Amino acid sequence: METADNNRDFYQRSMYYGTMLGIVWSIMYILFFTGISSMTGLLACFSLFVASPFIAMSFAKKYRKEECNDIMNFRKAWIFLFYMYVCAGMFSAFVSFIYLRFIDNGTFFMSMQEILKAGAELPGTDEAMKQQIQAALEALASITPGNFVWQLLSNNMFNTSVLPLIIALFVRKNNLNN
């Protein structure tokens, strides 16, 4: 029975920290959506993007220190981080969908179209580049918030398959002397 309680606590804490990481990702995405034409917003978004693996690592280390007597093998660290990333991906996708569907009203996609149109009108843009920009504009016109969020979720799941393996190398601690 104690093992079941430990497993339940393990997964609950992983989901808790995943939700916290999902909040960070949600802020990052909203900064990207709102700051597409603002260098400050994009810089803040990029900063959170770079910091997010370190945030995930600090959450896992905090769990290791508080709940595992500062000992966590690689497998347990990987599973903890994997579930944390799954929860973060799901949470941020949900928040992104809500934002794009009900709050943004197409502003993000219109800003992207304006940026592409401005790029096509730059002096020195060759005909091949203009055709590529026109194809991108047509593709962008057909994207819905739901499709866009599915792509974000797909990218998040790819990150979930790679980053926890790498971060677990830094989180694991097999004995107190390590």
Out of 57-61, 109-113, 124-128, which region has the weakest mean confidence (pLDDT)? 124-128
Has residue 148 got a pLDDT over 60? yes
Question: What angle is formed at CA 24 by the lines to CA 171 and CA 6, rounded to 5 degrees?
Answer: 45
**Integer angstrom CA distances of residue 49 from 57, 110, 121, 140, 167:** 14, 23, 31, 23, 15
Phi and psi angles of residue 78, each rounded to the nearest 5 degrees, phi first: -65, -45
pTM, full prediction: 0.88
Residue 120: the pLDDT is: 84
Has residue 86 got a pLDDT over 90? yes
Residue 127: the pLDDT is: 85
Residue 5: the pLDDT is: 58
Out of 53-57, 139-143, 168-172, which region has the weakest mean confidence (pLDDT)? 139-143
Has residue 51 got a pLDDT over 50? yes
Q: Which of 101, 81, 90 is nearest to 22 (CA)?
A: 90
Query: What's the rounded mean pLDDT across residues 65-81?
Result: 94
Residue 178: the pLDDT is: 47
Left (φ > 0), alpha (ψ -120 to 50) or beta: where does 125 sit? beta
Query: What's the rounded mean pLDDT across residues 28-54?
Result: 93
**Mean pLDDT over each residue of the chain, to the nearest integer:** 91
